[in-house]
């Protein structure tokens, strides 16, 4: 599954190698940004489910979704910076609304981990993290729109580049988007499975050591415990 996702992303990109290096970055940068944006909003929705059902698994899913989205966000900032350098000669430009809004979103979500870590009680940690995820998830589209409005005079719409270009551009873009989505889902599943396994291992170890206190949970951490 993972290899399939990677193959999709990278195989289609060289299809348009004749358009130059800059275009290839575009096929990674924009889908990554779109998937990350949706990921952040999904993190908010999953957090809302956690608050409604009070089941830890939703907090885990919200946590993982946000985690992977932040990783993608870093990717967006890096690829966007490279693109800016190649296109306009600077490592950072304020004209690109995607880049700017992602900087703000990244700064916001970077607080997710200190927030979680600073609350010791597990229930409260999950609850507060969920509140944050919902607020931040609603914030992401609003922020993007506001920043886009602010810079709308200076930067050409990404949308026009895909819809008005030759069919191969659109196709490659859509394929890349699909690949990026698959990558996102795969990373999420991978992280969730890894956390599940860690928790089961820990529980088994505790039982083996004769610790009958089922309520006890290990140490302090920023990650939700199942």
Partner 1 sequence: MSTPAPALALRGAGRRYGDRAALRDVTLQLEAGRTLVVFGPNGAGKTTLLRMLATLLRPHAGEVRVLGHALPDGGWAVRGRIGFLGHEPLLYRELSGRENLRFHARLHRVAPRRVGEALDAVGMAARADDPVAELSRGMVQRLAIARAVLHEPDLLLLDEPLANLDPAAAARVAPLIGPGGGRTRVVTSHDPAGGLAGADLALGLKGGRVALLAPAGQVGPEQIGELYA
Partner 2 sequence: MRTTVAALLSKELTLEWRTRESVPAMVLFSIATYVVFHFGLDRDRITGDLAAGVLWVTLLFAAILGVNRLFVAEHEQGGFDAFLLAPVDRTALLVAKAAALFVFLCLVELVAVPAFALLLLGPPLAQALPQLVLVLVLADAGIAVVGTLVAGLAIQTRARDLIVPLLALPLLVPVLLAAARCATPLFAGGGARPLPGDWLAVLAIYDLLFALIAYAIFDFLLED
Instruction: Please report, as ranges, the residues that interact with partner 2 according to CB under 8 A.
Output: 51, 104-105, 107-108, 110-111, 114-115, 118-120, 124, 127-128, 130-132, 134-136, 138-139, 142-143, 145-147, 149-150
CB of 145 to partner 1, least distance (A): 38
Rounded to a whole number of angstroms, the minimum distance from the CB of residue 48 to partner 2 is: 8
The CB-of-114 to partner 2 minimum distance in angstroms stands at 7
167-170 LR contacts (CB < 8 Å, sep 24+):
168/15, 168/16, 169/16, 169/19
Tell me how far apart the alpha carbons of residues 67 and 223 are, in angstroms, rounded to a whole number. Answer: 10
By a kind-dependent CB cut-off of 5 to 8 A, residue 104 interacts, out of partner 1, partner 2, none, with partner 2
CA distance 192 to 96: 34
Residue 128 contact among partner 2, partner 1, none, beta carbon within 5 to 8 Å by kind: partner 2
* CB-based contacts of 88-96 (< 8 A; 24+ apart in sequence): 94/151, 95/151, 95/154, 95/155, 96/151, 96/155
The 3-state DSSP class for residue 27 equals helix
Q: Which residues bind partner 1 (CB under 8 A)?
A: 120-123, 213, 215-219
Q: Work out how close the CB of 216 gets to partner 1 at its nearest, in angstroms, rounded to a whole number.
A: 5
In the complex with partner 1, the residue whose CB is nearer, 149 or 217, is 217
Would you say 37 or 105 has its CB closer to partner 2? Answer: 105
**How far is Cα 84 from Cα 185, in angstroms, rounded to an integer?**
28
∠ Cα 198 203 206 (to 5°): 125
Nearest to partner 2 of 119, 171 (CB atom) = 119
Rounded Cα gap, residues 105 and 154, in angstroms: 21
- CA separation (Å) from 219 to 59, 120, 212? 18, 9, 17
| Residues ≥6 apart with Cβ < 8 Å to 159 | none
Between 65 and 143, name the residue whose CB sits nearer to partner 2: 143
| Residue 129 Cβ vs partner 2, minimum distance, rounded to whole Å | 9
Query: Whose Cβ is closer to partner 1: residue 166's or residue 218's?
Result: 218
Nearer to partner 1, 145 or 198 (CB): 198
Q: Taking the complex as a whole, how short is the minimal distance between the CB of residue 97 and partner 1, in angstroms?
A: 43
């Amino acid at each position: 599954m993972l290899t399939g996702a990677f193959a999709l992303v990278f195989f289609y990109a060289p299809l348009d190698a004749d358009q130059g290096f800059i275009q290839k970055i575009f096929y990674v940068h924009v889908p990554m940004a779109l998937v990350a944006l949706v990921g952040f909003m999904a993190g908010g929705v999953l957090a809302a489910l956690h608050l409604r059902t009070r089941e830890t698994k939703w907090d885990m899913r919200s946590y993982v979704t946000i985690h992977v989205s932040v990783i993608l966000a870093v990717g967006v900032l890096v690829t966007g910076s490279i693109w800016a350098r190649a296109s306009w000669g600077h490592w950072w430009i304020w004209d690109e609304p995607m880049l700017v809004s992602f900087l703000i979103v990244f700064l916001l979500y970077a607080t997710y981990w200190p927030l979680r870590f600073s609350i010791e009680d597990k229930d409260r940690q999950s609850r507060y993290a969920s509140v944050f995820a919902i607020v931040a998830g609603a914030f992401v589209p609003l922020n993007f729109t506001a920043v886009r409005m602010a810079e709308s005079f200076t930067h050409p719409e990404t949308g026009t580049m895909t819809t008005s270009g030759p069919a191969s551009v659109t196709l490659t873009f859509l394929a890349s988007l699909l690949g990026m989505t698959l990558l996102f889902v795969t990373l999420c599943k991978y992280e969730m499975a890894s956390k599940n396994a860690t928790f089961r291992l820990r529980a088994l170890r505790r039982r083996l050591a004769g610790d009958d206190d089922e309520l006890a949970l290990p140490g302090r951490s920023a990650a939700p415990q199942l």
